[in-house]
Amino acid sequence: MHKHIKLTLIFLTGVFQFAIAQEEEKDDIGTETVTVTKAYTPTINDAFKIKTMPDLNDSIVLQKKKINYSIFSVPVASTFTPAKGKASAVKKTPPPVLYNSYASAGVGNPANLMGKFYTSRTIDRESGYTLGLEHNSSRADIDGVALDNIYSNSRLDAGYTRRDSDFDWGVDVGAQHQLYNWYGIPDATFTEETVDGIDERQNYYMAEASGHINVEDSYFENAKLEYRRFWDAVKSGENRAVFNTGFSFPVADEDFRVKAKVDYVNGSFENSSLNNPTNTPEMNYSNLQVGINPSLALVNEDFSLNLGVNLVYGLDAENSDSNFYIYPAVTASYRLLDDMAIVYGGVEGDLMQNSYYGFVEDNPYVSPTLTTVPTDKKYDAYIGLKGQILPNLSYNAKVSYTTEDRKALYKLNARNDSRTDEKGYYYGNSFEVFYDDVKTIGAFGELNVDVNRNFSLGVNVEYFNYNTETDNPAWNLPNLTSSLFMDYQIGEKWYAGANLFYVGERDDVATIASASGNPADFFATPVTLDAYFDANFHVGYRWNDQLSFFVKVANIANNNYQRYTNYPVQGLQVMGGLTYKFDL
């Protein structure tokens, strides 16, 4: 009994102590520090391996037989030697070297001289300027001509341009001097004393300035203002100012454009018409034109049509006369067979402003006694066919019908023995401007051949049939003209070219003035100028990228043909020279 009580007390005491230990453990588990004195390095013992292969004494195991091989060698004769492969390289063409300047000079017979200089330089990324100078002259005498026939033409041009983000603008200036002689006196017409007393020299001077602006992404597209002063050695002078501008407006998917112009020219000649027996009165002119040209362009892949009208107001301020003109301005084109055949046509007209400067550019032997009025080109109707038959062969053919009132024609001035002007242009050796109403039927054909990038050839023929209001011939206008040109690049160093042209017969009339001053009373002799053919050739050699040499041959046939009545040209002319490119 006592034993059981004792065991029960011991059990309860143990349980009580365990419960107290659990409570203490819950309150604080304590901390311990573990120090590692050596990293754990496990090792693997070798597995048991069979050291020798066991012997199989089994009757079913096949025994391997020893096999002996022998090689029978036979020599083979061969001449083949393999070559090492090499990738082919594409030969690069070096880019051309560009220079901003060049100078050219040439000299030849008969005492001809030529010189050119041009430079184009940039000031910064947005602006730059250009400068050009050109001179041509000859101091030789033409066979069979009694008067001095030297000439000289010098011109200077300079310009400045600047481009901004959405527009560009620029200014240009120019000056020119020309020297010519009224040397067209027929042989054995005047005595030697009279010829020696003639002052046949004429000098022309010109100065001009212009400014322009072009705008992108705007209704206003462009504007240009030009002014030119032109005068000569006998106190003739002319001023001309021209202003042009253009606007563009989108209309649905089409383009509506409006062009406007103001063209004013005025001038004076101190000398009177050579039809007058005395050098009075002086001749003055003042012509103003104000025009507007609205048009609508309809364009698709194969067809284009431009519908417009040209409205012009013309004022002759000197005679207090004004008129309003309405001209058609319609053009169209249609692709029949892609680029092989394109039909085009149009009906256009305009009031053409004539000027003393323009007359001299066409014929430097005019007298300083000209009547200057505008030409009324009522319409020029034409239809043509052009295209590219082969990749290197293109063509163009056209027929036209033109009606012009007051068309300017060059006619030989009357010989007026009663005049004593300062300059000797009244001996039947100068030209006047004769105005006539002319209807012209024309036909034109052209072929261009580009055999390759080094050879090109072109030929054209043009025929005219004139019908004048006065029943006179269309003075000094040919019925047939033709030209041929050729350019050939011979290798990298040599180049050559040729230019041939033909001009048909022309009509003129030689008259002698009478005291009445009425041209109907003048003694007249019809003159027919022979057709002429002129051939020119040039060849050049490029020494390097900068230096090249050239030889030019003009009038190879050595024919002293007459471009105008009593004005024979120089015969065979040979000129040699060089051109040098460089950077300034």
pLDDT tens track for 507-516? 999 999 988 8
Q: Can the peptide bond before residue 277 be classed as cis, meaning omega within 30 degrees of 0?
A: no
% of the chain with per-residue pLDDT over 70: 84
| Residues sharing a CB contact under 8 Å with residue 52, sequence separation 6 or more, in sequence order | none
pLDDT, average across residues 455-470:
95
- Indicate the helix (H) or strand (E) that contains 191: none
Please check whether residue 234 is in contact with residue 422, taking contact to mean a CB–CB distance below 8 angstroms. yes
Torsion, CA 471, CA 475, CA 480, CA 483, rounded to 10: -160
pLDDT, average across residues 120-149:
91
Phi, psi at residue 392, to the nearest 5°? -120, 15
**What pTM value is reported for the model?**
0.81
Please say whether the dihedral angle defined by the alpha carbons of residues 434, 430, 426 and 238, taken in this order, is positive or negative.
positive
Please check whether residue 512 is in contact with residue 558, taking contact to mean a CB–CB distance below 8 angstroms. no
DSSP letters spanning 569-582: PP--EEEEEEEEEE
Using DSSP, state whether 382 is helix, strand or coil: strand
Q: Largest Cα–Cα distance of the chain, in whole Å?
A: 190
Task: Write out pLDDT tens, residues 346-386.
Answer: 999 999 999 999 999 999 999 999 999 999 999 999 999 99
pLDDT at 84: 62
Distance between terminal CA atoms of the chain?
Answer: 137
Task: Write out pLDDT tens, residues 51-71.
Answer: 444 554 444 445 556 666 565
Q: What distance lies between CA 403 and its chain's CA centroid?
A: 30
Whole-number Å distance between alpha carbons of 219 and 165? 16
Q: Which amino acid is at 213?
A: I
Phi, psi at residue 441, to the nearest 5°? -100, 125
Closest Cα to residue 559, out of 571, 548, 550?
A: 571
pLDDT at 515: 86
Domain ranges (residues) in the chain: 139-582
Alpha helices in 256-362 (DSSP H): 356-362
CATH code, residues 139-582: 2.40.170.20
**Mean pLDDT over each residue of the chain, to the nearest integer:** 87
Q: Which segments of 413-555 are extended strands (E)?
A: 431-452, 455-468, 480-490, 494-503, 506-512, 523-529, 532-542, 547-554
| Residues sharing a CB contact under 8 Å with residue 440, sequence separation 6 or more, in sequence order | 400, 401, 402, 404, 464, 465, 466, 467, 474
